[in-house]
Amino acid sequence: MDEADQELNMKVSCILERETGERRLRYHELRVRRSENSAWIEYHLLFQSGVTLDAAHKTATKIEGILSSPPDVHSYINGYLEPRETHAMDHRITR
Protein backbone atom coordinates (compact mmCIF):
# COMPACT_ATOMS: atom_id res chain seq x y z
CA MET A 1 0.00 0.00 0.00
CA ASP A 2 1.36 3.42 -0.84
CA GLU A 3 1.43 6.16 1.72
CA ALA A 4 2.53 9.70 2.30
CA ASP A 5 6.13 9.75 3.44
CA GLN A 6 7.03 12.78 5.54
CA GLU A 7 10.79 12.30 5.25
CA LEU A 8 10.66 11.91 1.47
CA ASN A 9 8.25 14.83 1.24
CA MET A 10 10.68 17.05 3.19
CA LYS A 11 13.60 15.92 1.04
CA VAL A 12 11.73 16.65 -2.19
CA SER A 13 10.49 20.00 -0.86
CA CYS A 14 14.04 21.05 0.03
CA ILE A 15 15.33 20.10 -3.41
CA LEU A 16 12.48 21.91 -5.18
CA GLU A 17 12.94 25.01 -2.99
CA ARG A 18 16.64 25.12 -3.80
CA GLU A 19 16.39 24.32 -7.51
CA THR A 20 13.47 26.63 -8.25
CA GLY A 21 14.95 29.40 -6.09
CA GLU A 22 18.23 29.29 -7.98
CA ARG A 23 16.34 29.52 -11.26
CA ARG A 24 13.78 32.12 -10.11
CA LEU A 25 10.96 29.67 -10.66
CA ARG A 26 8.10 28.65 -8.42
CA TYR A 27 6.43 25.33 -7.81
CA HIS A 28 3.21 24.19 -6.19
CA GLU A 29 0.81 21.24 -5.99
CA LEU A 30 3.55 18.95 -4.68
CA ARG A 31 2.33 15.41 -4.08
CA VAL A 32 4.62 12.66 -2.85
CA ARG A 33 3.57 9.05 -2.36
CA ARG A 34 5.75 6.12 -1.57
CA SER A 35 5.39 2.37 -1.69
CA GLU A 36 7.95 -0.17 -0.62
CA ASN A 37 10.36 0.31 -3.53
CA SER A 38 8.94 3.25 -5.46
CA ALA A 39 8.16 6.91 -5.05
CA TRP A 40 5.66 9.02 -7.01
CA ILE A 41 6.46 12.70 -7.12
CA GLU A 42 4.19 15.23 -8.82
CA TYR A 43 4.43 19.02 -8.91
CA HIS A 44 3.79 22.04 -11.10
CA LEU A 45 6.66 24.27 -12.23
CA LEU A 46 5.70 27.87 -12.94
CA PHE A 47 7.69 29.64 -15.63
CA GLN A 48 7.61 33.32 -16.50
CA SER A 49 6.10 34.24 -19.83
CA GLY A 50 8.51 34.36 -22.71
CA VAL A 51 10.40 31.22 -21.73
CA THR A 52 10.43 28.86 -24.68
CA LEU A 53 9.03 25.39 -24.31
CA ASP A 54 12.46 24.05 -25.18
CA ALA A 55 14.13 26.02 -22.37
CA ALA A 56 11.39 25.12 -19.88
CA HIS A 57 11.67 21.45 -20.77
CA LYS A 58 15.46 21.50 -20.35
CA THR A 59 15.13 23.12 -16.94
CA ALA A 60 12.40 20.70 -15.87
CA THR A 61 14.51 17.75 -17.03
CA LYS A 62 17.48 18.96 -14.97
CA ILE A 63 15.32 19.31 -11.86
CA GLU A 64 13.78 15.91 -12.51
CA GLY A 65 17.25 14.39 -12.74
CA ILE A 66 18.21 15.90 -9.39
CA LEU A 67 15.00 14.63 -7.79
CA SER A 68 15.53 11.11 -9.06
CA SER A 69 19.15 10.86 -7.96
CA PRO A 70 18.56 9.24 -4.53
CA PRO A 71 19.30 5.58 -5.28
CA ASP A 72 17.20 3.94 -2.57
CA VAL A 73 13.91 3.98 -4.49
CA HIS A 74 12.73 4.05 -8.08
CA SER A 75 11.10 7.43 -8.67
CA TYR A 76 8.21 8.23 -11.01
CA ILE A 77 8.31 11.98 -11.49
CA ASN A 78 5.71 14.18 -13.15
CA GLY A 79 6.62 17.84 -13.35
CA TYR A 80 3.93 19.88 -15.10
CA LEU A 81 5.13 23.00 -16.88
CA GLU A 82 2.87 26.02 -16.44
CA PRO A 83 2.99 29.73 -17.31
CA ARG A 84 3.10 31.75 -14.07
CA GLU A 85 0.92 34.57 -15.33
CA THR A 86 -2.07 32.48 -16.39
CA HIS A 87 -1.85 29.33 -14.31
CA ALA A 88 -4.57 30.36 -11.86
CA MET A 89 -6.97 30.80 -14.76
CA ASP A 90 -5.81 27.53 -16.30
CA HIS A 91 -6.52 25.69 -13.03
CA ARG A 92 -10.03 27.13 -12.88
CA ILE A 93 -10.66 25.79 -16.38
CA THR A 94 -9.34 22.30 -15.68
CA ARG A 95 -10.86 21.78 -12.21
- Chain residues binding Zn ion by CB under 5 A are 44, 82, 87
Considering the complex, state which of residue 73 and residue 81 has its C-beta at the smaller distance from Zn ion.
Answer: 81
CB of 15 to Zn ion, least distance (A): 18
CB of 29 to Zn ion, least distance (A): 5
Considering the complex, state which of residue 30 and residue 70 has its C-beta at the smaller distance from Zn ion.
Answer: 30
CB of 26 to Zn ion, least distance (A): 9
- State how far the Cα of 28 lies from the Cα of 43, in Å rounded to an integer: 6
Considering the complex, state which of residue 1 and residue 93 has its C-beta at the smaller distance from Zn ion.
Answer: 93
- State how far the Cα of 72 lies from the Cα of 55, in Å rounded to an integer: 30
Tell me the residue nearest to Zn ion as measured from the CB. 44
Distances, alpha carbon 40 to alpha carbons 12, 36, 58, 72, in Å: 11, 11, 21, 13
